[in-house]
Amino acid sequence: MAKARTKHRDPALAQNKKARHDYIISQTFEAGMVLTGTEIKSVRASRINLKDGYVQIRNGEAILMNIHISEYTEGNQFNHDPLRNRKLLLHKKQIAELAEQTQNKGITIVPLKVYLKHGFAKVLIGVAKGKHEYDKRETLKRRDQEREIAKVVKRYR
């Protein structure tokens, strides 16, 4: 008797929920991260914070900045710096596209979530444009209306 195959998806180790609230995400990219040994151990333990992070393109390289990966508790004196800049692994065409898009005013690149894929840490980055305050209120209002509609539909089923 064969077992039924289930599609297993690795859950996100960290998410930047504030980014989806503060920005309109137009495009996303999956990128690998260059991490040291103690950093990957901390990431696997979900000890990472994406809240104030952003990506900068410098000298043809994508650099993840202002991401806090806590020090590994079992690490020794060679533990990593929690706020160091980390290089992202992307194709040259993707980096060129990101660099071109960030030349526009008001466009930035923000990390959306970190997850493991086949044992490697990946970060989902998004090309983002800042929302105005009234856009944020509109989004919240629409979400509340959808929630109310879902409640009414559920009640009648």
Q: Measured in whole angstroms, how far is the alpha carbon of residue 136 from the centre of its chain?
A: 20
Domain 12-131 class, CATH top level = mainly beta
Over residues 100-135, the pLDDT tens digits come to: 998 888 889 999 999 988 888 999 999 988 877 777
Running DSSP on this structure, what letter comes out for residue 79?
P
pLDDT digits (tens, 9 = 90+) for 4-54: 445 555 578 888 888 888 888 899 999 999 988 888 888 888 888 888 889
- pTM here is 0.76
Start-end of H helices in the chain: 17-22, 37-44, 92-102, 133-156
CA Rg value for the chain = 19
The C-alpha angle 89, 93, 96, rounded to 5 degrees, equals 90
